[in-house]
Amino acid sequence: MWSDNFCRKGGADGCCIRSTINKEFESNSKPQQSIMDEIKFQSINLQQAQNQIRHKTDGLSSSTLVLRRGQAFTVLMSYEGRPFDPMKEKLIFRIVLGPLFVEVPVSTFGQPSLTQWSAVLERRVPNPTGPSVLSVSLSSPASASIGVYMLQLRVETRWTVRTYLLGQFTLLCNPWCQADSVFLQAEDLRNEYVRSDFGLLFKGSPCNVVSRPWSFDQYEKGILDICMKLLQLSPQYQADMRTDLQNRSSPVYIGRVISAMVNCQDDKGVLMGKWSGDYSGGINPSQWSGSADILRTWSETQFRPVKYGQCWVFAAVMCTVMRALGIPTRVITNFNSAHDTDGNMVIEEYYNEMGEKLSISNDSIWNFHVWVESWMKRPDLGQGYDGWQVLDATPQERSAGIFRCGPAAVKAIYQQKVDAQYDVPFVYAAVNADVRTIIIKDRKILSTSTDTKRVGSLISTKRPGSMLMQDITSEYKTEKDESTVRALSTDVRRGEGATGRVASKGTAVSLQLLKAPVVGENISFNVIITNNAAAPQLLKKHVNAQNKEYNRNPTGTFWEAHDDVKIGPNQTLTIKHEISFKDYMLKEVEEDSLVNLAVVIEDVKSQERVLATEEFNIRSPALTVQIQNEYVVINTQQVATVTFTNPFSTAVSGELTVACSGLLEQKVQTRITIQPRETMRMPISFTPRMAGSKMLYASLVLTNPPTVLHGFKSIDVQAA
């Protein structure tokens, strides 16, 4: 399809046109009358508004016309002179992408093609008193490369050749086109996974899932152009522009490029990751609430990496870029996600005899890990692997020498097809690895146990068309795990505490959270000990609580309790404990505090030890967002109210931010102080400028206690 483009190309001129005349033909003095008889094009109308509505790109902000591949678009050309005669004038469009171009003669009959570029003359509108108009339908193939194109028109007559520079257009993937490799059948899913500009990210733990609003912002001013620039800055483009542009016909290739470019490990990527807790010199990842701020900061600082991101930020930004490019994408959370560094499918966790978790193994279990899935065909894998593909922009391991991951077919993960490219073994381990727990003392192993259910216990995404969680664990894991998944999902919906149980012949022990922990409140839990023997026992009980980051082993102990316990034959004891707020309060601002809680029960006589553990999050209180009138109409002012009652015993202060793509032109930010038990009510006026489903979201970053509060309200904006 493509040819090499050795001509010098000009810039875009919008609806104005410039012409260049081949002087070799014009210098001939004999046919001056023929030259005077030519038609002269005055202006070209790329029909931006009409074409973008038809291509479902209306709302996307770009300096160019925005189109989807595999679909026709209309160009109107005004000219003066005699009526257009296809026998005298030959019209040829030149479509230029970097060093590549294709020439498309205008046909006076026929239908647009889905397999190659085509141009068909739709109609001629002669005008005796003014400019006449030609309407041409141009079509791109459904496999065209994604990128920013230059459109040129060449008019050839017997005596002259004139070239007109018509402007630029950005070409995207087309999930509405059946011939496109990202075609998605259902309209509601296309709206959710391509057109929707907001969503929920799920964090926390399986027993206490937290919904975190995020604004993907693909309609914000300049964001699409930045996404295209991201492709242009990739190492693949810089090393071999021609090959990169040709490969951009494939969403598989695009996904691998974007997965690498969202992090900055190997390139001029968007985000720098940091998990240390010290975020000086940048932004705490918990304080980001949308992708536009991140992408604009990257662009405005000459493409220096933005500080800082963690897994949900990398995933959310990648979701923005992929949706902007027209590739259906959703954000996924894998709870209890294994990071198997040695590839043996076993994660080893070590505890000492006092219940303290030790940082010995290089392997780790992230309380949650967030990636994206994108919908595409996989012709490289053969039949059966089309559909959702895992892509992970968080820099964990290298794939073919670059920090990126995927696309890994979800069906290949389910079928344990670990030889399927790309990175299926790594993702398979993340959702299926076994956990081997080892209690040690003085470098000697006291006991071991293996848990085959914990990793990947809940895999979730936002349910299309609602603000609820959708459990998709069964898409990744075989039926043998579904009972565990259902039980955990039920706990999530009820908000009940989870229990962990380890039993031996003589003693069984479990932990039970009495309610879902909330910042500012005490943590209440039970240690339940059962003596399965027919004789009384003397036991030692060691309970240990440690703060932890979501992606690594815990730090030091912040609370512990050690007791002697006497238990009768076949007796069950329930011992209640409480951890006060002042014991677990963090120094750094976090959305959710995470705790590793463990109990070791030691049989004094036999020296046998049993362990039960539970890792859980302490969720922040929520903000409430309400609107005055549920019937919201475009271009009509509305009022929303953000409400929060301070549950703490001391005054709290921080910065409140309210934003919404399509509802508020700019964020509303204000410093507030709220006294104990006082209720804050903050009215926010907004005027919707886009119809459709939108999300008004608010965040409150408190400094005392250091936490981030969120709230959101989904709004259905009606057309006028």
Catalytic residue positions? 311, 369, 392
* Residue recorded with tokens 């902007």: 324
Long-range contact pairs involving 602-608 (C-beta distance under 8 Å, separation at least 24): 602/353, 602/539, 602/540, 602/541, 602/542, 603/506, 603/507, 603/537, 603/538, 603/539, 604/537, 604/538, 604/539, 604/540, 605/537, 605/538, 606/506, 607/446, 608/447, 608/504, 608/506, 608/507
Q: What is the DSSP string of 613-668?
A: EEEEEEBPPPPEEEES-S-EETTS-EEEEEEEE--SSS-EEEEEEEE-TTT-SS-E
How many angstroms from the chain centroid is the CA of residue 432? Answer: 23
- For the chain, first and last CA: distance in Å? 45
Q: Where are the beta strands (DSSP E) in 239-361?
A: 271-273, 306-309, 329-339, 346-352, 357-358
Give the C-alpha separation, 707 to 284, whole Å. Answer: 11
Of 417, 445, 229, give the one whose Cα is nearest residue 352. Answer: 445
Of 169, 173, 129, 139, give the one whose Cα is nearest residue 151. Answer: 169
Say whether 399 sits in a helix, a strand or coil.
Answer: strand
Of 99, 255, 243, 100, give the one whose Cα is nearest residue 173. Answer: 255
β-strands 632-633, 706-718 pairing: parallel
Query: 475 is written with which tokens?
Result: 């898409």
Give the C-alpha separation, 394 to 311, whole Å. Answer: 5
Q: 717 vs 467, 631, 680, 714, CA distance in Å?
A: 16, 8, 27, 10
Of 459, 705, 668, 691, give the one whose Cα is nearest residue 591. Answer: 705
Q: In this structure, what is the dihedral angle of CA atoms 331, 319, 271, 245, given to the nearest 10 degrees?
A: 140
Q: 450 exposed, middle or buried (CB, 10 Å; 0-12, 13-18, 19+)? A: exposed
Per the CB < 8 A criterion, the answer to whether 202 and 189 are in contact is: no
Give the C-alpha separation, 485 to 466, whole Å. Answer: 22
Instruction: Give the residues across from 392 on adjacent strands.
Output: 405
Q: What is the identity of the amino acid at 584?
A: Y
Per the CB < 8 A criterion, the answer to whether 656 and 650 are in contact is: no
Give the C-alpha separation, 282 to 589, whole Å. Answer: 13
Length of the chain: 720
Give the C-alpha separation, 254 to 403, whole Å. Answer: 15
Give the C-alpha separation, 343 to 309, whole Å. Answer: 26
Neighbours of 677 (CB within 10 A): 10
